[in-house]
Amino acid sequence: MSTRVAFLQGNEACAFGALYAGCRFFAGYPITPSTEVAEAMARELPKIGGAFIQMEDEIAAMAAVIGASLTGAKSLTATSGPGFSLKQENIGYACIAEIPCVIINVMRGGPSTGMPTGPSQSDVMQAKWGTHGDHPAICLVPASVQELFTETVRAFNLSEKYRTPVTVMPDEIVGHMRERIVFPEPGELEVVNRTSPLVRPQDYKPYDTSFGDIPPLAAFGSGYRFHVTGLNKAQDGFPTTRAELVQAEEERHIRKIENAIDDIVTYEDYLLDDAEVVVVAFGSISRSARHAVNEARNNGIKAGLFRIITFWPFPERQIRALAQYCKTIIVPEMNLGMTIHEVRRCAEGRVPVSGIFRVDGEPISPREIFARIQEVR
């Protein structure tokens, strides 16, 4: 069988990754720089019996995704910063109701309308703290077109497995760049489907924790009838204000992700075995960082790269370990200092942590990172 190879834009690869994972529903609203995801899904979904709908706004799009997921369909929406802000209330609803879905947020400059065509990495905190209340967050930050395909597949797997929304957040550069991509054969990448109930419809409870922290999820229209609400609830899905039930529910939501850290958190380490200067980066800037690290090595400087792939949950244990043996850490990012606070928290004062920040619509170059490496070595 011949290998299928294509020259694709990142946003297009994201759409094909969703289809590979079994996505059959897309609801969205056009917004730069993510619109190509919607365009590709509008073209491809009807070919395989899926459904595409352009909603009247981002809030409605997120609501439609939640509804489609409850019928058993793997569901996707795509947006950028302003739209991501509008989706937050319904993302919170999906968190508390434990509804699997995937949100693509191609990051651009902000706040507000900001710089629609310029790259940014300034939504990473919003991915965890954007909606109110205590809730888990899974956020993936791919760095290449190929990885945007595979990480979208993984986003659906994590969403289905842990009954939670998952955000994929490429920056505009990754979303719009074009690269060679090799399409995996069917079955080559793992595809996870949600666990369906084995009990009779009359015995089903949508939040029955006797099955563990992640209860099976029935599909509306399959003979199972159950209540879904954004309120705190008992195992039957109906609202409750009983303190012990509310406490247990909120703690379970966090616990189901924290207990799966090893399954969820992914990263790449590059030349870290003897590194004295470690660059921590993600997305397109990690590509600049790799070039700078290579340049440093060519100049006799022991530099290495830690590339974040799963931003939330944050790779705390790995960053803490780096701080035990390196001499300094550099954090380049296209914002005014978000990731650096998490890195400093994990480093716990063991080593100096400095940042390189840009929000002017231009990427951080290898030259800038190499200059900082020379400065702090």
CATH number at residue 275: 3.40.50.920
Same domain for 29 and 113, yes or no, is: yes
Q: Is the pLDDT of residue 296 over 90?
A: yes
Same domain for 168 and 57, yes or no, is: yes
Same domain for 112 and 82, yes or no, is: yes
The number of domains in the chain is 3
Same domain for 306 and 371, yes or no, is: yes
Confidence band of 271 (pLDDT split at 50, 70, 90): very high
Average pLDDT over residues 63-77: 98
User: Of 220, 245, 262, which marks where a domain is finished?
Assistant: 262
pLDDT, mean over the chain: 97
Same domain for 245 and 277, yes or no, is: no
Residue 194 lies in a domain: no
Q: Is the pLDDT of residue 3 over 90?
A: no
Distance CA 15, CA 231 (A): 33
Distance CA 142, CA 246 (A): 35
Residue with the two structure tokens 């993510």? 34
pLDDT of residue 282: 98
Average pLDDT over residues 5-12: 97
Q: Is the pLDDT of residue 102 over 80?
A: yes
Average pLDDT over residues 54-67: 98
Residue 300 lies in a domain: yes
pLDDT tens track for 341-357? 999 999 999 999 999 99
Average pLDDT over residues 54-74: 98
Same domain for 157 and 13, yes or no, is: yes
Same domain for 164 and 305, yes or no, is: no
User: 332 has which bridge partners?
Assistant: 356
Same domain for 300 and 228, yes or no, is: no
Residue 187 lies in a domain: no
pLDDT of residue 1: 44
pLDDT over 90 percentage in the chain: 99
Residue 240 lies in a domain: yes
- Annotate the chain with three-state secondary structure: CCCCEEEEEHHHHHHHHHHHHCEEEEEECCCCCCHHHHHHHHHHHHHHCCEEEECCCHHHHHHHHHHHHHCCCEEEEEECHHHHHHHHHHHHHHHHHCCCEEEEECEECCCCCCCCCCECCCCHHHHHHCCCCCCCCCEECCCCHHHHHHHHHHHHHHHHHHCCEEEECCEHHHHHCEEEEECCCCCCCCCCCCCCCCCCHHHCCCCCHHHCCCCCCCCCCCCCCCCCCCCCECCCCCECCCHHHHHHHHHHHHHHHHCCHHHHCCEEEECCCCCCEEEEEEHHHHHHHHHHHHHHHHCCCCEEEEEECEEECCCHHHHHHHHHHCCEEEEEECCCCCHHHHHHHHHCCCCCEEEEECCCCCCCCHHHHHHHHHHHC
Same domain for 218 and 83, yes or no, is: no
Same domain for 254 and 302, yes or no, is: no
A 10 A CB-CB count for 23 gives 25
Same domain for 274 and 253, yes or no, is: no
Average pLDDT over residues 271-275: 97
Residue 30 lies in a domain: yes
CATH number, domain of 44, equals 3.40.50.970
User: Of 151, 182, 213, which marks where a domain is finished?
Assistant: 182
Confidence band of 258 (pLDDT split at 50, 70, 90): very high
Q: Is the pLDDT of residue 2 over 70?
A: no
8 Å CB contact between 75 and 102: yes
For residue 97, give Cα distances in angstroms to 67, 140, 288, 335.
11, 22, 40, 32
8 Å CB contact between 192 and 161: yes
Same domain for 149 and 75, yes or no, is: yes
Average pLDDT over residues 101-118: 96
User: Of 218, 243, 262, which marks where a domain is finished?
Assistant: 262
Q: Is the pLDDT of residue 75 over 80?
A: yes
Residue 347 lies in a domain: yes
Average pLDDT over residues 291-320: 98
Strand-strand pairing, 51-54 and 23-28: parallel
Residue 189 lies in a domain: no
pTM comes to 0.97
Residue 190 lies in a domain: no
- The domain in which residue 372 lies consists of 269-376
pLDDT over 70 percentage in the chain: 99
Which residues, including other chains, have CB under 8 Å from residue 211's CB and lie 6 or more apart?
A: none
pLDDT tens track for 170-193? 999 999 999 999 999 999 999 999
79: tokens are 């947006």
Average pLDDT over residues 116-142: 96
